[in-house]
Chain A
Amino acid sequence: MLNQATGTPPDPVVTLRDVHKSFGPLKVLEGVSFEVPRGTVTAIIGRSGSGKSTALRCIDRFETIDRGEIRVCGHRVDAPGLDLRRLRQDVGIVFQSYNLFPHLTIEQNITLAPTAVKGMPRAEARALAAEVLAQVGLGDKLQAYPEQLSGGQQQRAAIARSLAMRPKVMLFDEVTSALDPELTGEVLKVIEVLAASGMTMVMVTHEMGFARGIADEVVFMHRGRVHERGPAAMLEAPTTPELRQFVGSGL
């Protein structure tokens, strides 16, 4: 699975090494490096514009990088010959705006990719949809359309849709930022359960309390760089003034 010739240890599911990315003249990432070991949760925090969402999107090749190296589940994401569809079968991504398909029922939203991409028989896919929806507490919403669900329910359905592809790593891009505070909790709970089940996850989040509770490692980004990185406990005792200020303002 992994390219042994380069001597990469098989352990990290996601590795970023010296990643650079610009949008025109704007340098968004200036040498970002971190890795995500299997079965762990990494929370990326930082101000708006610090590059945290861009870093996450690079992992699933929604942005192509200018320089550096990204490895995800044995794929060289920065390589020109990358098989995008194979990469995206291994990586699940959930967005801030849920992005459920509005013309399909929740069940159809979930069965679409397994049937179309993996050729799963319809009956099997429907059983799978029921299973993953139960997992996020929406077992009774199979036949509902996205517009009939609350934001929190839509986001949980979006998580279920990703899980149905049985990804090896899940990416969460500010998944609670569009939600009312009272709906945030139900989504975070689902993510917590997922973390407890051993899913490897990378999340960009503004929920400091949540990051502290769930993350094995916190990556604090500042001006396109990883400014500080460490166990979640570092949020309680920030060593750099930037992180201290960020955490102070966030709580």
Chain B
Amino acid sequence: MNGSLNANHLLFLGQGALWTVGLSLIALIGGGAVGFLVALCRVSGVRAVRVASSAYVQLIQGTPLLVIMFLTFFGLPPLGFSVSPLAAAGASLTIYVGAYLGEIWRGAIQSVPRPQWEAAEGLALSRTQRMAKVILPQAVRIATPPTVGFMVQIVKNTSLASVVGFVELARAGQIINNSLFEPFLIYAIVAVVYFALCFPLSRLSQRLERRGARGRTTLMPA
């Protein structure tokens, strides 16, 4: 029952950490794809599309990720869809991250100065061409620091996947603690690993922001 922390425990935690990274990547890629679509829909010329995408964002931002996890993992099977913990966690994070990234990126698209749109329009570029060649390349620059910053949130939020039985870092820590009863030690290790994953991201975000602040002055005076 008891015993002390050994290499096997650490290996198990390492495995959990890998799943945390994996789940973060799934959330980033899936949420990024959804978020990109949401951002485009939010600035669409069609009112119904704007309203629908805005409703999606409002709905998800007003719902705890934990509840979305419960809904997909426990709510869907009775309706006839069986969902693995990985699928439930991945889908929930995708839905959740998509709403937030969509909002961040909408802001970035809209903060490209209005005259840039007009200059592109004046040159007879189509709406798609304006977006692809003029607006998005500039929006990407603006969006990069907050997007990297949000990745920190993604990494930490993957810990909620433990509630659907997915063994990532937090859940791995719980499992080990159940056998060792060394909560302070084990959760401290877990915390340090999370920090080691997140700290480089937030530093990167800060650096990008400083660099962006210098580059921003090159955007035109309005």
Contact = CB atoms under 8 A, between A and B. Distances in A.
Nearest to B137: A103
A95 B119 contact: yes
22 contacts: A62-B121, A84-B124, A86-B124, A88-B121, A91-B122, A99-B116, A100-B220, A101-B134, A101-B138, A102-B138, A102-B218, A103-B138, A103-B141, A112-B123, A112-B125, A112-B134, A113-B123, A113-B124, A117-B124, A158-B119, A162-B122, A165-B124
Nearest to B138: A103
Contacts, number: 71
B61 interface: no
Interface string B13-37: 0000000000000000000000000
Interface of B: 115-116, 118-126, 129, 133-134, 137-138, 141, 218-222
A84 B127 CA distance: 11
Contacts of B123: 88, 112-113, 117, 161-162, 165
B116, B118, B122, B219: most-surrounded residue (chain A CB, <10 A):
B122
Contact of B118 (A89, A95, A117, A162): A95
B212 to A, nearest CB: 13
Contacts of A92: 122
Contacts of B116: 99, 101
A58 B51 CA distance: 30
Contact of A99 (B137, B218, B220): B220
Name, among A97, A103, A113, A178, the residue most crowded by chain B CB atoms within 10 Å (CB to CB): A103
A152 interface: no
Contacts of B118: 62, 95, 99
